């Protein structure tokens, strides 16, 4: 499937936004009084962060590193 440069740039922008929100979520959960209660949510968010980082890297490579 072919994607335009504009499509890739928009996808990258959306990923950046989602990454920012996920990172804030992890910080918030870790700052709770008993963060161990939120272990599964933290793990899920961290896995999503990693997946989005991979996607962002692949998009960056596809559009030439810009």
Expressed as residue numbers, the domain containing 37 is 5-62
CB 49 within 8 A of CB 19: yes
Task: Check residue 4 and give its pLDDT.
Answer: 94
Task: Check residue 12 and give its pLDDT.
Answer: 96
Task: Check residue 66 and give its pLDDT.
Answer: 52
Number of structural domains (the chain) is 1
d(CA 44, CA 27): 13
Secondary structure (DSSP) of 13-64: HHHHHHHHHHHHHHHHHHHSSSGGGGHHHHHHHHHHHHHHHHHHHHHHHHTT
> Which pLDDT tens digits describe the chain residue by residue (66 residues)?
889 999 999 999 999 999 999 999 999 999 999 999 999 999 999 999 999 999 999 999 999 865
């Amino acid at each position: 499937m072919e994607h335009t440069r504009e499509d890739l740039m928009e996808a990258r922008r959306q990923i950046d936004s989602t990454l920012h929100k996920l990172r804030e979520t992890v910080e918030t959960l870790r700052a709770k009084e008993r963060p161990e209660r939120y272990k599964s949510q933290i793990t899920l968010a961290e896995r999503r962060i990693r997946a989005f980082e991979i996607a962002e890297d692949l998009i960056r490579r596809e559009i030439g590193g810009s």
